[in-house]
Chain A
């Protein structure tokens, strides 16, 4: 796989910036002008996790034409798997000092750990679940949906239904995932104090590492013959079928891969923000993730990362300086970007590539003509 300069620049910037920030946070005294406060470290870590979600969305939307309005569900599931591990790590340091049960279970009068919580005390198992849970859900959902050739808006709407159903399910206290409050008050990860600046810095660097890894993986996938077929499926699905390809298999593979990437993003997100709760499943979150990609530039991968960071930075900034007006700013940004920057911010800097999706979304119209 050959990397162009934009890709190299992205990797260098993401990983380099994370490394520099972490190093400055660790090695300079707080009074120093070069010191990066922990607040910034935590924020940057959060942005990078969102960038992973955006990357996952771009992979399916930009290259396979699947507009998922439920991708935050996979992100949240990964987050919950990590959250469960972190809850088990608390051990008897919880408020009630109960070594076996998380606080919220004691609180609700539960007597023993539900079966599906077993195993999460082991980091390895939990990490396996971070990958497996979103992956398996995506596989089942995708297998059903792609096999029946559910496409376009219909697919978007049922992905939304999926995340909405999960939202309602996780809200239920009876489910044993902490209900509305979710999981919080984490103490340690792999034995390291989760609130320590060093842990935060390490988590930031790890997030950067994973983001770069995912970026490279995504580049590999879209650059391979598989990726070319994926683009072919996106634009002219029926043609690929008459050539003997099974679009459903291609979509399923990239869909599951994307779900796993989102899940890993969620897993890294939770220790850095310190809470996971059902509102992560809210359909609005998934729509926002799509907007990050649109702002950055759909079908470019680099744009997804850039969009996630830009929009979230904007959100952090606006909610502080314009607390009463920031929704106008954010809403206006979305409208303006779709109207005037159909190819996103990256489109400003970049010559048009044929491999990027047409802003006009020609996918189905071509297919329609074919059948005519």
Chain B
């Protein structure tokens, strides 16, 4: 694969909190259009990795390149989000007081400056896009409900919907199926694969069945660096992986 197809490139990223190494010279390459599952025990550095990519945490050393020549370590969260990196949190984080519709409206790609939003009116195009996302996320029926009133699974989907509305090149998804029913989990897997048709996705997940269902390349993190990488079957047979994670 040629250089040009690399979307995200982490090189020797190290993050230390009060002497604790959350990430230890972590390196990772994500291709354009790829879906990647990241697994690892608690404290392996999964969330910290997300934090570094989205600009929440600044690494002590290392490079984080997005696309050809954008160094993410120099940018803050809104700037990175505007570049086209969306993030879904472990716990569903939506704007509870707003309706589903408004949540999506606020997430839609567009001008983020106050001077625009102060006078912005909803356009027909925006309406169309929202309806489309509602369709995709199966939230059409509840579009006028306040987000706070949604079920847990619906909130997860709404958040994914908001990510879609952002129209990112890369989605970072943190434990999307935690607390979901089996049916919901299945639907989520379908949804993610659908999304992956147009965008790159990184999924952090504990649920091995779900990861298996995704059927993508897996990266196993341990103690802040990559332990193993490859297809799920290969990785799950790796004795090191079994020792630290699967076999515990």
Contacts and interface: CB of A to CB of B under 8 A. Distances in A.
Do A and B share a direct contact in the complex (Cβ within 8 angstroms)?
A: yes
Contacts of B78: 241, 244-246
Interface in B29-71: 47, 51, 54, 56
For B86, B107, B114, which residue has the most chain A Cβ atoms within 10 angstroms? B114
A293 interface: no
Contacts, number: 91
A215 to B, nearest CB: 17
B124 interface: no
A240 B76 CA distance: 13
Nearest to B85: A242
Nearest to B159: A239
Contact of B89 (A226, A235, A354, A370): A370
B97 to A, nearest CB: 4
Interface residues on B, range: 35 or more
Given A236-B93, A239-B95, A226 B117 contact: yes
B106 interface: yes
B162 interface: yes
Given A249-B113, A253-B114, A355 B97 contact: yes
Contacts of B166: 243-244
Contacts of B98: 228, 231-232, 354-355
A229 B98 CA distance: 10
Contacts of A229: 106, 117
B91 A242 contact: no
Contacts of A354: 96-98, 146, 148
B106 A243 contact: yes
A123 interface: no
Given A225-B106, A249-B114, A242 B120 contact: no
B120 to A, nearest CB: 5
A235 B114 contact: no
B95 A231 contact: yes
A241 B112 CA distance: 10
Contact of A372 (B56, B90, B95, B112): B90
A240 B87 CA distance: 11
A338 interface: no
A366 to B, nearest CB: 7
A242 B88 CA distance: 9
B118 interface: yes
Given A225-B106, A249-B113, A370 B120 contact: no
Interface in A324-372: 354-356, 366, 369-372
A318 interface: no
Contact of A232 (B77, B86, B91, B95): B95
A182 to B, nearest CB: 36
Interface string B109-122: 00011100111100
Interface string A261-296: 000000000000000000000000000000000000
B192 interface: no
A354 B91 CA distance: 21
A365 to B, nearest CB: 11
A224 B120 CA distance: 7
Contacts of A228: 95, 98, 102, 105-106
Contacts of B93: 236, 238-239, 366, 369-370
B25 interface: no
B106 A244 contact: no
A221 interface: yes
B222 to A, nearest CB: 20
B164 interface: no
Contacts of A369: 91, 93
B118 A224 contact: yes
Contact of A224 (B91, B96, B113, B117): B117
A250 interface: yes
B202 interface: no
B171 to A, nearest CB: 12
Contacts of B118: 221, 224-226, 253
Interface of B: 47, 51, 54, 56, 76-78, 81-82, 86-87, 89-91, 93-98, 102, 105-107, 112-114, 117-120, 146, 148, 162, 166
Task: List the 6 closest A-B pairs by CB distance, nearest first.
Answer: A244-B81, A241-B77, A226-B118, A226-B117, A354-B146, A354-B97
Given A235-B95, A244-B81, A245-B106, 8 more contacts: A224-B120, A225-B106, A226-B117, A226-B120, A232-B106, A238-B56, A245-B112, A354-B146
Interface of A: 221, 224-226, 228-229, 231-232, 235-236, 238-246, 249-250, 253, 354-356, 366, 369-372
17 contacts: A221-B118, A225-B118, A231-B97, A236-B94, A236-B96, A238-B77, A238-B93, A242-B54, A242-B77, A244-B78, A245-B112, A249-B114, A250-B114, A355-B97, A366-B93, A370-B93, A372-B47
